[in-house]
Amino acid sequence: MFHGTITALLTPFKNGTIDEEAYRAHIEWQIEQGVNGVVPCGTTGESATMSHSEHESAIRICIDQVKGRVPVIAGAGSNNTSEAISLTRFAKNAGADAALLISPYYNKPTQEGIFRHFKAVNDEVALPLFVYNVPGRTGSNVLPATQARMARELPHVIGCKEATANLVQISNILEQCPEKYILLSGDDFTVLPTYAVGGKGVISVTANVLPALMSSLTAACERGDYAEARRLHFRLEPMNRAMFAESNPIPCKTALSLMGRMTGEMRLPLCQASESTVDLLRTLLAQYGCFA
Residue 200 falls in the annotated catalytic set: no
Helix axes 275-287, 250-258, angle to 10 degrees: 60
The b/e string for 238-256 (b: 16+ C-beta within 10 A; e otherwise) is ebbebbbbbebbbbbbbbb
Q: How far apart are CA 14 and CA 139, in angstroms?
A: 32
Out of 108, 119, 161, 200, the active site residue is: 161
Task: Tell me, rounded to whole angstroms, the distance of Cα 70 from its chain centroid.
Answer: 15
Out of 23, 105, 106, 132, the active site residue is: 132
Q: How far apart are CA 49 and CA 43, in angstroms?
A: 10
Q: Is 18 exposed, middle or buried (0-12, 13-18, 19+ CB in 10 A)?
A: middle
Residue 132 falls in the annotated catalytic set: yes
Q: How far apart are CA 132 and CA 223, in angstroms?
A: 26
Give catalytic residues, as residue numbers. Answer: 132, 161
